[in-house]
Amino acid sequence: MTVEILQPALGTVIDVRNETTSGDVKRIVVEVPRSRTSGAAWAGPHRPGQCAMLSVFGVGECMISVSSSPPLVSGPGRPGATVERLEFAIKNAGRVTSAFHELEPGSPVGVRGPYGNGFPVDSWKGMSLLFAGGGIGMAPLRSVINYCLDRRDDYGPIRIVYGARSPGDLCFKDELFEKWPGVKGVQVDVTVDSGDETWPGPVGFVPQFTESLAPSPDGCVAVTCGPPVMIRVMLATLERIGFKPENVFTTLELKMQCGVGKCGRCNTGSKYVCVDGPVFTLAEMKTLPSEY
């Protein structure tokens, strides 16, 4: 049977929860059939850092990074399973994302993909890892962080630096304050742009906070994602600290529409973010137009 690459698979929402205090970011868990013999376009399992095109029927679709890590050998979505469970952190930022926030468990949702190159996690084996995220930019980082933690012996020390505008804007708090700090060889540092009476921790922007922690670039891979202005400052900060451009990774998720390199919406120079990215090294970024 011919598979229509733009035909979404029919997924089902199985859980919805608020990530932020204001509710402007929700975590949505979706189960989607993986079989391609049905004509559906989901071809998982995904790799960490890849994206999916999600659609609310009758409203529209948008590209969202998969925030869950690829499945191991057991559980829903394991290799060979016919169903994959995916998690997405979606910020209410427009008509389509607002429609996602109205979904409830049992709601149908369209899913196609996975799209993009993902992080080259095999090439990082044996190295130490630095993850620096800001706001909703933790969503794609969470996928690769949990992937590396699931394979903890393959990697060296792991440092996770994360920040948001306020304590209420921090996402994935259960992992940030409970799960990840409890893993051997993992250090978690959290900051906020502006604290309140409930916040006992550091206050400051992620790039400056990361620099104050003085991470060693020796044998280390750095991965960053966040608002565009944070990415720009963070990349410059990491290079100033001494990280090699080929060891610095970020993920871009702007302007993607078709997801298969046909519409030309996400191209920058000769690169299409949806098929050549969304993961790029700083060395690659230096060859792209300055719009990023």
Check pLDDT > 70 for residue 256. no
Which residues on neighbouring strands pair with residue 249, listed in sequence order? 223, 281
Q: Which two tokens stand for residue 146?
A: 């949990």
Strands (E), the chain: 9-18, 25-33, 51-56, 60-65, 83-91, 108-115, 128-134, 158-164, 186-192, 220-225, 248-251, 267-268, 271-272, 279-281
Per-residue pLDDT reduced to its tens digit, 139-152 = 999 999 999 999 99
Is-contact 240 248, C-beta < 8 A? no
DSSP for 116-154? S----GGGGTTSEEEEEEEGGGHHHHHHHHHHHHHTGGG
Burial class (CB in 10 A: 0-12, 13-18, 19+), 122: exposed
Per-residue pLDDT reduced to its tens digit, 257-271 = 777 777 767 677 777
Within the chain, where are the H helices? 95-101, 138-150, 173-174, 206-212, 228-241, 273-276, 282-285
Q: Which two tokens stand for residue 276?
A: 């050549």
pLDDT computed for residue 34 by the predictor: 73
Per-residue pLDDT reduced to its tens digit, 154-182 = 999 999 999 999 999 999 999 999 999 99
Pairing of strands 9-18, 220-225: unpaired
Per-residue pLDDT reduced to its tens digit, 29-87 = 999 987 655 555 678 788 999 999 999 999 999 999 999 998 765 455 555 667 889 99
Which residues on neighbouring strands pair with residue 13, listed in sequence order? 30
pLDDT computed for residue 289 by the predictor: 75
| Rounded CA separation 247/220 (Å) | 7
Q: Which two tokens stand for residue 47?
A: 């790799």
| Rounded CA separation 122/212 (Å) | 29
Which of 63, 46, 48, 49 is CA-nearest to residue 110?
63
Is-contact 215 227, C-beta < 8 A? no
| Rounded CA separation 133/238 (Å) | 13
| Rounded CA separation 265/250 (Å) | 20
Q: Which two tokens stand for residue 192?
A: 């906020």
Per-residue pLDDT reduced to its tens digit, 87-134 = 999 999 999 999 999 999 999 999 998 998 999 999 999 999 999 999
| Eight-class DSSP state of 199 | -
Check pLDDT > 90 for residue 252. no
| Rounded CA separation 290/129 (Å) | 27
Burial class (CB in 10 A: 0-12, 13-18, 19+), 123: exposed
CB-based contacts of 273, cutoff 8 Å, min separation 6: 116, 252, 253, 254, 255, 256, 266, 267
